[in-house]
């Protein structure tokens, strides 16, 4: 008796040619349902409808088609178990040797503008996942294919093995099947949690409950040459079927992106997303900013950011919040850079950048769109937190010194505070003219970060602003800042000895502002 293949696919890419090879080259008989059966019949291929095979019509508008013992019995039967074989014979069920299934396009549907909840619900596949799981479970006796990219690989395996795919091949296909249903279910759960029942999401204020279960899955976009170091293997994964974020970015030129490039690019994206109203540029090294600046033009903003620390800028990652123009492109080509990302790039700028063909130039229109949560893996599990996306509100800041900031000084304090949020803790940022002058990052004590930032700023610190991501437990940093010429400080406050720092600022004629919010970044 000819072998039996069940085909039921939403994605019909490559279906007809594959089915023809099954029939003509390997003597398969085909059963199918719905649109798949129609497509095969229209192509002139012999196919039996599932309803004719089971003797049960499709019901509920097609919601029930393949949920039948003749289908699932044929998939789940163990050919080496006499009782299973007897059940097949008694119920006139044929064993199914190949199941080809992919699922309703749920994620593609919810990605559309204006999709309603009922429309999304109708794209939740039931029979497909049931067949996928059943066939994947019984990989010892049949093959499951859930992706058109597997068709040619299966045919090659059949040719190589005289029509009997190896157990190793079948198990690999089963794993892909389980990963597919897992990702599908996760997408549904995530959508329903936001659209079906009232829920309290993770919030930047720390209020609300974190879900008892959290699943993370992705589809591998590409293998990377290595991770942070050459001895570490690495790969890049996309969450969801529809590319978003960096997976949706357009690379205009340059070498393949590395693990470290992507980590730095995300750090650059987070900083540049803080600035919307004015042209802005940031240059990143090892996830910390070495230069951030605002300007009247994009070219000016980049020049200011570069000049803030031109030594560290060499080999840096640049993010810009406006499309690249010719003048900015010319400046970008004057030094070695690893990557440049912007929301656009005009034709003249592209031509100029092409002179530096190894520089990776990416276009990411939605620079401000980032993940709602951050995940860190630890031994035996992982940690989940809401992203630190709280927008600074100066109306809620507390001016605690006798001296008050001018409007311009308040704007400078806000600029420094926004940058400081994205510097590794303990973080100190010195700024002036909406430009970073010195950055102290990742030190074991705050005094050390203050000294590094002020030393980097040098004479430019005079009349500048200092921002700290955490409070000052003692007044020593305030006195050090005043000695360097700093005129105003912004910090969270919250220390038992806040009054010591406030008293020192009053004594030295400084402005001090407390935000009430800290921004540690570990």
> Would you please indicate which residues are annotated as catalytic (active-site) residues?
137, 286
Q: In what order do the strands lie in the sheet with 48-49?
A: 48-49, 28-32, 3-8, 98-101, 143-145
* Token pair listed for 253: 């030129």
> Do 487 and 465 meet the contact criterion of CB atoms below 8 Å apart?
yes
**What is the rounded CA–CA span in Å between residue 430 and residue 436?**
6
**What is the rounded CA–CA span in Å between residue 467 and residue 457?**
13
Give the torsion sign (CA, 310, 314, 319, 323).
positive
3-class DSSP state of 451: helix
> Do 199 and 193 meet the contact criterion of CB atoms below 8 Å apart?
yes
* Token pair listed for 396: 């809620």
Q: What one-character-per-residue DSSP string does 13-78 give? A: TTHHHHHHHHHHHH-EEEEE-HHHHHHHHHTT---EEHHHHHS---BGGGTBSS-SHHHHHHHH--
> Do 326 and 348 meet the contact criterion of CB atoms below 8 Å apart?
yes
**What is the rounded CA–CA span in Å between residue 373 and residue 360?**
27
From the CB of residue 423, how many other CB atoms can be counted at a distance below 10 Å?
Answer: 27
* Token pair listed for 256: 């393949």
């Amino acid at each position: 008796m000819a072998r039996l293949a069940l085909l039921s696919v939403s994605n019909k890419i490559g279906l007809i040619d594959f089915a023809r090879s099954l029939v003509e080259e390997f003597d398969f008989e085909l059963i199918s349902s719905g649109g798949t059966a129609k497509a095969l019949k229209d192509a002139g291929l012999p196919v039996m409808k599932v309803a004719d095979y089971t003797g049960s019509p499709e019901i509920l508008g097609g919601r029930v088609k393949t949920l039948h013992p003749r289908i699932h019995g044929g998939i789940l039967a163990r050919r080496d178990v006499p009782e299973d074989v007897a059940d097949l014979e008694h119920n006139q069920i044929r064993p199914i040797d190949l199941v080809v299934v992919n699922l309703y396009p749920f994620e593609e549907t919810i990605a559309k503008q204006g999709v309603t909840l009922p429309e999304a619900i109708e794209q939740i596949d039931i029979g497909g996942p049931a067949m996928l799981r059943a066939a994947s479970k019984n990989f010892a006796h049949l093959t499951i294919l859930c992706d058109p990219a597997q068709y040619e690989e299966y045919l090659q395996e059949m040719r190589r093995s005289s029509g009997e795919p190896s157990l190793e091949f079948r198990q690999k296909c089963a794993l892909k099947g389980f990963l597919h249903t897992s990702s599908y279910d996760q997408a549904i759960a995530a959508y329903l949690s936001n659209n079906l029942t009232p829920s309290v999401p993770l919030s930047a204020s720390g209020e609300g409950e974190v879900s008892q279960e959290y699943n993370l899955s992705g589809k591998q976009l590409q293998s990377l040459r290595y991770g942070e170091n050459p001895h570490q293997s690495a790969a890049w994964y996309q969450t969801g079927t529809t590319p978003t974020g960096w997976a949706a970015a357009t690379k205009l030129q340059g070498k393949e992106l590395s693990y470290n490039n992507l980590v730095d690019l995300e750090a650059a994206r987070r900083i540049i997303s803080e600035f919307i109203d004015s042209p802005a540029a940031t240059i990143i090294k090892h996830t910390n900013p070495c230069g951030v600046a605002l300007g009247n033009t994009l070219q000016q903003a980049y020049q200011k950011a570069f000049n803030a620390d031109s030594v560290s800028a060499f080999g840096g990652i640049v993010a810009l919040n406006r499309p690249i123009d010719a003048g900015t492109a010319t400046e970008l080509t004057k030094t070695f850079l690893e990557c440049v990302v912007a929301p656009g790039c005009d034709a003249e700028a592209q031509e100029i950048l092409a002179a530096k063909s190894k520089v990776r130039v990416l276009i990411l229109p939605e620079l401000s769109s980032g993940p709602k949560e951050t995940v860190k893996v630890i031994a035996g599990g992982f940690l989940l937190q809401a992203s630190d996306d709280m927008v600074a509100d100066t109306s809620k800041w507390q001016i605690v010194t006798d001296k008050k900031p001018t409007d311009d000084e308040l704007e400078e304090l806000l600029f420094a505070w926004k940058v400081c949020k994205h510097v590794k803790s303990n973080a100190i940022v010195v700024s002036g003219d909406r430009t970073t002058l010195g950055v102290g990052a990742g030190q074991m004590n705050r005094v050390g970060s203050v000294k590094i930032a002020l030393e980097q700023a040098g004479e430019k610190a005079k009349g500048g602003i200092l921002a700290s991501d955490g409070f000052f437990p003692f007044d020593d940093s305030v006195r050090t800042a005043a000695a360097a010429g700093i005129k105003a400080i912004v910090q969270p406050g919250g220390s038992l000895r806040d009054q010591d720092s406030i008293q020192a600022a009053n004594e030295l004629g400084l402005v001090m502002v407390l935000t009430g919010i800290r921004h540690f970044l570990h």
